[in-house]
Amino acid sequence: TSLFHKALTIDPGCITALCHLGHQQECHYNDPAQAAQQYRKAIALRPSEGMPHYALATVLQDRLADPVGARRSFLRAVQLQPSSVEARIDAARQLLSAGEARASR
């Protein structure tokens, strides 16, 4: 088991560990579906945190071909973290690719 699994045995509500597990699943084990599941667990635990919404959006867009889900998650990330330049840029790109130029401004 990884350190992130150990962290979750100590604190099952640790969204940082869940997000790191998601990243590990996506990047090291090439399992984007499992990554998305970890991000969704983090969102369920703390829906007001922007980081897991952004991470979910990127995996949905880049790896799981779910533009609708990605758009929803990017927009939620921007709502929760309006100062996140990355979230704003990626949300705008996603909206532009979906033909929603007015909403991306």
* 65-97 per-position pLDDT tens digit: 999 999 999 999 999 999 999 999 999 998 888
Per-residue pLDDT at 101 exceeds 70: no
Per-residue pLDDT at 103 exceeds 80: no
pLDDT at 105: 54
Average pLDDT of the segment spanning 35-50:
97
What does the alpha-carbon distance between residue 23 and residue 31 come to, in Å, rounded to a whole number?
10
